[in-house]
Structure 1
Amino acid sequence: MISIVRTDVGLVRSNNEDSYLYQPPRLFAVADGMGGHAAGETASAMAVEVIKEWAVQERLVLEKDLAAAIEDANAQIYQRAQKEDGMQGMGTTATVVLLEGNQAFWAHVGDSRLYWLSEGQCRQVTQDHTLVGEMVRSGNLTLGEAREHPRRNLLTRAVGTARELLVEQGSFSIGAGDYLLLCSDGLTGVVSEAEIQQVLEQKQESLEEKANRLLGMAKAAGAPDNVTFILIECEMPAHGA
């Protein structure tokens, strides 16, 4: 297993509210903060730090543990937001992957995404917890309409914005040649799933070249938001890497 991480402020924002956890070959996370300059950065950094601490304490084994870590982050961010001036309403997305052998365990809240490319199929594993995402799933909006909808970034679920939180979670089996992509919506907001798949399927390019191409495509499209992603190539069972 080989992996690479990229984060960039983009071409419009003055600060980067994205955070990530990069602990190959086992643990990866992306968090995209919301709530203004200091608050968004604080929320995403707190989420990543809590997940990291759970890993240090060796409490991460299955997807339910990832979900519990996100719930812990939710409680800590929510409590801080209630106490500190300027932090009210802060929150963050959180998409986490834990690799054990040939299993990928994951947990997720918000509109960052986990993609899985396997045997020529690119799947969006996570659901977008957005108003527009719910409209697509209910059949009231097409994917094309969703990409142009003026409220496409309105989250219906985020870490830290409410006392209670429902965390999406699951697992799947990975194989040699598969790719995993964790990313903030700064990438998927301007680069389509089809374009992502086309980049990942370029066999003559290294993982670094693929990552550079994805970031370059986001910037060529204007990169109006921060862009953060972790790209993983499964060359062998992940835990044996």
Structure 2
Amino acid sequence: MLALQTTYTSQTGQRKRNEDTCGYWTSDTACCWVVSDGAGGHGSGDVASQLVVNTTLTQFEAKPEVSEQVVTDLTTGAHSAVMEHKHRNPEGDDMHATVAVLLIDAGTRQAVWAHVGDTRIYLFRRRKIALQTRDHSLVQQLIDAGYGNEEIIRTHPQRNMLTSAIGSNDEMTISVSGTPILVEEGDLFLMCTDGWWEYLEEHVMEEMLEDATSAKEWLEVMAQRVESSAKENADNYTAVAIQVGELEEVTTVIR
């Protein structure tokens, strides 16, 4: 049976309200983590992200199974909940949200995930990034088409424009991990909104993890970097770290 430890932070940044929401539900077998970044005027971004997280966790608690189909159903269920709320409140604005969902079966050691938008999931193995989701964003499309490299993803003036979102009237794209992967002792999953990863390049995440003794310590160090690097009117930021067992020992080689 896997030992799983969860650490998280969700902060307002320099905005008036926090439109990020995160949550998790765990049992001795199946476990679910979800992060959502809401958007919309008059506080409706709060409502959107809370609907996404609450709906996802409620659905999973009713059917705590880990599979590609289940994580897809959880995501479409969250989308339906936001769309239903919008239909019941036609006077409201066009609220929408991102979502990232991670499921782990602690018995079989299998993990699957899905995401919509630019809230990300990373898998760190032996303190290096082994897997990373790809954003549903205009800038990611530009990079894929050869109109720039990964460096523009944090600086482009249209970096916040999404090509898929929960609650959008357009057709929604869901990216799913596919065949479940087997997690290993020492693995770390990081789920984070764009207000977090915008100020932490991937090599910085790895460098900070090299010196960390736990997911909690790692998250605290990264949060300090986000706070110190944040610009005026910096976005909300949320990060959830899931540590599998104990981190492997760091070996320092003296030459």
TM-score (ref. length: structure 2): 0.86
Corresponding position of 1:199 = 208
Larger radius of gyration: 2
Of all paired residues, the percent bearing the same amino acid is 27
Number of the residue aligned with 2:22 = 20
Question: Structure 2: how far apart are the matches of 1:207 and 1:166?
Answer: 31
Unaligned runs of 5+ in 1: 237-241
| CA distance in structure 1 between the partners assigned to 2:163 and 2:91 by the alignment | 22
Measured in 1, the distance between the counterparts of 2:113 and 2:199 equals 24
> What's the counterpart of residue 230 of structure 1?
240
Q: How many corresponding residue pairs?
A: 234
CA drift of 1:165 comes to 2.3
Q: Which position in structure 1 is the counterpart of 2:58?
A: 53
Q: Deviations over 1:177-230 (max 9, x none)?
A: 111100111111111111111122224x33222111111111011161111111
Q: Can you list the C-alpha shifts for 1:49-83, whole angstroms capped at 9, x where unaligned?
A: 11111122125431221111111211221232233
What is the alpha-carbon distance in structure 1 between the residues aligned to residue 18 and residue 86 of structure 2?
19
- Equivalent position SS for 2:43: helix
Cα offset for 1:122?
A: 0.8
Aligned to 1:6: 9
Gap change, CA 1:157 and 1:38, over 3 Å in 2: same
TM-score (ref. length: structure 1) = 0.90
> What is the distance in 1 between the residues matched to 2:215 and 2:195?
20
Q: Partner amino acid for 1:215?
A: A
Counterpart of 1:72? 77
3-state SS, counterpart of residue 199 of structure 2:
coil
Report the equivalent of 1:174: 183
Q: Distance in 1 between matches of 2:185 and 2:51?
A: 34
Q: 1:61 to 1:146 in 2, by over 3 A?
A: closer
Partner of residue 224, structure 2:
216
The SS at the match of 2:24 is strand
Higher relative contact order (CA 8 A, sep 6+): 1
In 2: Cα distance, 1:190 partner to 1:87 partner: 32
Instruction: Name the residue aligned to 1:125.
Output: 132
CA distance in 2, matches of 1:136, 1:164: 22
Q: Which amino acid aligns with 1:70?
A: T
Counterpart in the other structure of 1:239: none
Aligned to 2:163: 156
